[in-house]
Structures are given as structure tokens and as C-alpha cells.
Structure 1
Amino acid sequence: MSLPTLRVAIMTDETGWHTGRLKKAFRARGVEARCVDLADCRIDTTWPPYGLAIPGFGHTLPDAIFVRGIAGGTFEQVTLRLGILHALRECGVPVYNDARAIERSVDKSMTSFLLNRYGVPTPATWAGESAAYAQRVLMREAAAGRQVVMKPLFGSQGKGLKKPGVKLPSLKPFSQVAYLQRYVDGGEPGFDWRVLVIGGKALAAMKRVGGEDWIHNFARGARCEPSDMTPALADIAVRATEALGLDYAGVDLIPAEAGRPVVLEVNGVAAWRGLQSVTPLDIATLLVDDLLDRKLPQSKGALALASGDGQR
């Protein structure tokens, strides 16, 4: 008897280059992949047998979830979308990356806390709601001849970053939260590294050079260049990914003292178009292979048939 075709939901709020590459890689493995917007999913306790309704899957659930994108929204909307991912995990569906890991990486303060707790090199960081305390941090750092970067707690692509000097700007644009990180000068021309970690292995790296002023994001005009994967770079990127419990991650690092890499951010819903342009590796295939081989081993279908569990 032939095994049933595996079905995977790619959770995304927009389709395009990334989802096209993923669907092609899934097809190459004989897997049916469908794009689903988390905003269209719902918890419905009258919807048997799971109490979850995922568009395109009827009363069944996908065999696995690949989280490619989660749209922004109100606190309630984002909470519900993450709740759907939590619920899928509770139903035994592998979620790649799962909601808890995404929550840790999206919240920059929790990322910094966990990196520091697990001994991963990262710049000194302060996060809180007290403007008075944040002002004292700025003054103390300035007195020591150091600069500080102020970032939105939630954000990506270098948006909203500031170097405030000694005077704290209004916290209103930052939702009344001050997230401050000691500035690390990437040199001239400035650059940082993006390292892609998949399944506990650092597989590809690039340099992001230049960009708008001191912000080295591909979306802000930085150019992507190939980079050697040094042992130090690979080790720190893998440790950062493990600290946050991520299946895959884009880890952003910058050279600090004596060129030693330190982690700035960890992206749990990482884009890879820039990195793909400078590596011969097929990144979508690597991601799909890791999901299928680690989360859905080939024996799964046979075991399901043997047990008579054909609901999914």
C-alpha cells in the first residue's frame, strides 16, 4: 500500500519569491504545500475533531507547518495568530519554527536576555519602561565614551533605529518602551554578518556592507557579499539559535574587539533572498529537507497506517 501524500501549510501573509522557492522544494520531495494566512485560521471548538479550522484542510490538519511570515496587527490579532501555532503544536503538528521560539526572537528584550543567560556574546542591553532610567543609561554610557542604539522592541529591516546621544527621545514612537543596546562600530566600510543556521548547523554566511549610514540591512541598501564561515562565526550563531530554541534562524553578528563576532539580533522568520544571491546552496531545499527529515521521518506514514490513524 502506498503511503499518503504529506501535506504542509506554509504560514505566510504574502506570497512571492520565498514561498515559490519553498513550494518547489516541497514538490521535489513529493509533498503537497499550500500557503495559508494565519489571519484566516481560527479556533473553533465546534469544528471536530480538533477545534481548529485551517483553510484548505477541511476538518483535518496539515502534517506540518512551515512559518514563513506572520502579519503585524493589534496585540490581540498577533496573540491569536501565535495562539493558532501553539494550538497546532498541542494537536501534535510539528511547527517550524514554533510559536514559543518565534515569540522569543521577535521580542528583542527576551532575545538579549536569553543570549546573555546562555553566555552568547552580545552587546550590553537595557530594556524597560522608565524614561528616567533610560536617560541615566545614556548619560553613563556617554561619560564612558560609548554610544547607544535605541530600537523598537518589535521590528525588522533596520526600521526605527536611532543613536540618541545623551538626550533620550520621546518613548511614544517606541510604544513607551526603551530598548537600548551598546553600539558596536563595524569599522569602515561598516559591515555585519548574516549567518543562516538550519537544524543546529551554520550552513551559509554573508557580509552586509554599507547601507544607510551605520545600518547594514539588505532592505536599507547594504550590498551582500560572500563570507567565509569561520569556526567562531559558526559556533556563536549556532549557540544563539539554540538559546532561543529555533529550528532555523538568521543570526546577525558584528565584529567587536579583535574582530570577535557578537550577536546583535536573531531572526526566527528569516528571509534569505540576499543570502541566496551569494551562495551556491539551495536554501529553500535545505530548509525543506531539515523539516521533513527531522520533524517528519519517513516512518511516520507507515506508522499512521499501521495504527489506523488516517484522520490527517
Structure 2
Amino acid sequence: MRVAIFTDETGWHTRQIQQALRARGAEGRCVDLADCRIDTAASWHGLVIPGYGRELPDAALVRGIAGGSFEQVTVRLGVLHALRELGVPVYNDARAIERSVDKSMTSLLLHAAGIPMPPTWAMESPAQAQRLVTRESAAGRALVLKPLFGSQGKGLRRVGCVDGAHVPLPSLKAYGGLAYLQRYVESPGFDWRVLVVGGRAIAAMRRCSAHWIHNLKQGAKVEPAALTPELATLAERAAAALQMDYAGIDLLPGADGPLVLEVNGVAAWQGLQRVTPFPIARALVDDLLDRKLAAARAATGGARRA
């Protein structure tokens, strides 16, 4: 079996996946989606995936998609869409990545599924956004301004009533001209990251920090966390709402129970592995091969168009 590992950078995560694939008798080749192309003259399927000649991989696992222009990212996602349509199981596929990378769509789908989360707004009008911030501030509440496509805690700012003082909305130029705002929830010094694989929560950790941002890239420390039925069920519901094969779910303690903050469709797990007794990459690979690839082969009778 040949599995394409789509990533824009190689390192610890890709080595873990390749090792887990080798243990299953499969080959994992790292491929940058920026190096793939559509070429309808090259083969019956019209794709060129470096390292696969005129053939297609048996499966694909997405570890990263490089940023670029709207047109570049559209074509890269188009390659993933095409692979799915051609019968190649993609883990997570383009639809799931689109749902999770766009925080506004994530919020809409979580809300529609009845999953508890902080009140959330997304709007283009600076005047409307400023009125929202002023109204929330007058009620003694703060909001968190986030980049719509951001990750790792970068670019987060608190506005509204922050430490008893009013903080106005900044220029939205650095945020793509869009205000994505979530009501700020006071943290007890930690949040949870729960990893869901194949619809089942398999591991959890607490990310601890004196700062209100708890991402590891922002200096948070990790410690083991009990995967309680409450956390597991909520994380599984969140992953199901976005139809994810695997997902890192960020949750924060709330007054009435945990709240889902974000769903990560290309989740890193290096920090989580430190406090998890089993190899996470093996769990991902086993789910890809035993569930997703097996289902795809069963649906096609094990044959691919020649």
C-alpha cells in the first residue's frame, strides 16, 4: 500500500506517520500539494502527484497545506477533492478541512448541532463589529478577536471590557477585513485538548498557562487529563458535526460544563504524545487503513478504474 502524506513541511509528525505505516507494511511518501498539478493530458485521472507517475496513491493523509493566494489554495484543495471523487480515501478530506479551517463555518455547524460553545459572531462591517464590542463592553464582557484562518494562538486579541477598561476593536486590516469574535470565557488556568480518531475520543491533555491563551506555541505546558465521559462525548459530537476522520478538539471549562472553542482538522499531537501511553500515529494509521481504506475498497470491490 502506498500512502501520500500531504504536508508542506516534514519533521516529527511525518516521521511518526511513516514509521507507523511501515509497521503495517505500507509506504508513506511526503508530498507538498503545491507540487501537485492538474494535467488532463498526463493520465486518465488528470492529476500529477509527485512520486506516483501515472498512478494514484492507495490513500492520502493530510498533515498540512501551505498558505498561498486564494487561487493557489483553491487548486490544492481541488486536488484533494479530485482524489476523493476518484476513489482515493483522503484523511481528513477537503470538505472536512474546509469546515474546520474556516472558524465561522465551524461555529455555525457546532451551533446547529446543539454543541455548547461561547456566543460567536463573524461580520465584515467594522461599524457593526464596533457596535457589538461596545455593547458587550457595556455589559462588562470581553470578546476575543481571532483570525478566521489562524492557528496556534497567533493573532488573538481581547477587546471590550478587559480588566475593567474598555478596549476598542482595532483595524480589521490585519484580520482580512473580517471580525470573527467569540465571547471571552475566564479560564481557570487551563483548557483541554481531546483527540478524536474515527469517531472516538482516544486521548486528552490539559494545556496549562498563566496567560489566557493556552496554546503550546504560546508557552503553555501539558499535563495528563482524565478522558471523562463528559469530555469524550462532547469532543466526539464536535468531530461528528464537522464529519472529521480525526480532529483535535479544544474545550474550556464553563459555568455549566465544558465549552467547545475550536475544532482542528490538521491537528498536531506532539504535546499530547508526551502524556499519552500509546503511539498516536499508530492509532491514526490503523483507523485510516482498517476503516477508511477498507470501506473504500469494499465500495469499489477492490478495483480502480484502469
TM-score of the superposition, structure 1-length normalised?
0.93
Matched residue, 2:42? 47
Equivalent position SS for 1:296: helix
Equivalent residue in structure 2 for 1:272, among 269, 280, 283: 269
Instruction: Summarize deviations over 1:49-106 as a string: whole Å, max 9, x none.
Output: 1000000000000010100111111111111111110011111110000001100100
Deviates more, 1:75-84 or 1:196-205: 75-84
Equivalent residue in structure 2 for 1:283, among 268, 280, 283: 280
Matched residue, 1:65? 60
- In structure 2, stretches of 5+ residues that fail to align are 161-165
CA offset at residue 175 of structure 1?
A: 0.8
Deviates more, 1:262-271 or 1:166-175: 166-175
Matched residue, 1:178? 179
Equivalent position SS for 1:123: coil
User: Taking structure 1 as reference, are residues 310 and 175 closer, same or farther at Cα in structure 2, changes over 3 Å only?
Assistant: closer
Q: Once the two structures are aligned, what percentage of the paired residues are identical?
A: 65
Equivalent residue in structure 2 for 1:96, among 91, 95, 102: 91
Partner Cα distance (2:294, 2:240) in 1: 22
Instruction: Summarize deviations over 1:93-130 as a string: whole Å, max 9, x none.
Output: 10000001100100000001110011011100000101
* 2:87–2:296 CA contact under 8 A, matched in 1: no
Equivalent position SS for 1:34: strand
Matched, 1:162 2:157: yes
Partner Cα distance (1:101, 1:310) in 2: 25
Matched residue, 2:198? 199
Amino acid aligned to 2:83 = L
Instruction: Summarize deviations over 1:118-152 as a string: whole Å, max 9, x none.
Output: 10111000001011111111111112221100000
User: Taking structure 1 as reference, are residues 243 and 8 closer, same or farther at Cα in structure 2, changes over 3 Å only?
Assistant: same
Within 5 Å, which residues of 2 pair with 1:100-179? 100-165=95-160, 166=166, 167-179=168-180
Partner Cα distance (2:217, 2:120) in 1: 24
CA offset at residue 303 of structure 1?
A: 4.7
Partner Cα distance (1:291, 1:299) in 2: 10
Amino acid aligned to 1:193 = W
Partner Cα distance (1:276, 1:124) in 2: 31
Matched residue, 2:163? none
Matched residue, 1:3? none
Q: Give the 4+ runs in structure 1 shifted more than 6 A.
A: none
Partner Cα distance (1:268, 1:114) in 2: 14
Equivalent residue in structure 2 for 1:263, among 260, 263, 280: 260
CA offset at residue 296 of structure 1?
A: 1.9
CA offset at residue 310 of structure 1?
A: 8.1
CA offset at residue 180 of structure 1?
A: 0.5
- In structure 1, stretches of 5+ residues that fail to align are 1-5
Partner Cα distance (1:230, 1:51) in 2: 47
CA offset at residue 278 of structure 1?
A: 0.7
CA offset at residue 194 of structure 1?
A: 0.3
CA offset at residue 300 of structure 1?
A: 3.9
Partner Cα distance (2:143, 2:216) in 1: 22
Partner Cα distance (2:301, 2:243) in 1: 28
User: Taking structure 1 as reference, are residues 152 and 299 closer, same or farther at Cα in structure 2, changes over 3 Å only?
Assistant: closer
Equivalent residue in structure 1 for 2:215, among 211, 214, 217: 217
* 2:152–2:215 CA contact under 8 A, matched in 1: yes
Amino acid aligned to 1:266 = V
Matched residue, 1:33? 28
Q: How many residues align?
A: 299
* 2:89–2:296 CA contact under 8 A, matched in 1: no
Matched residue, 2:75? 80
TM-score of the superposition, structure 2-length normalised?
0.95
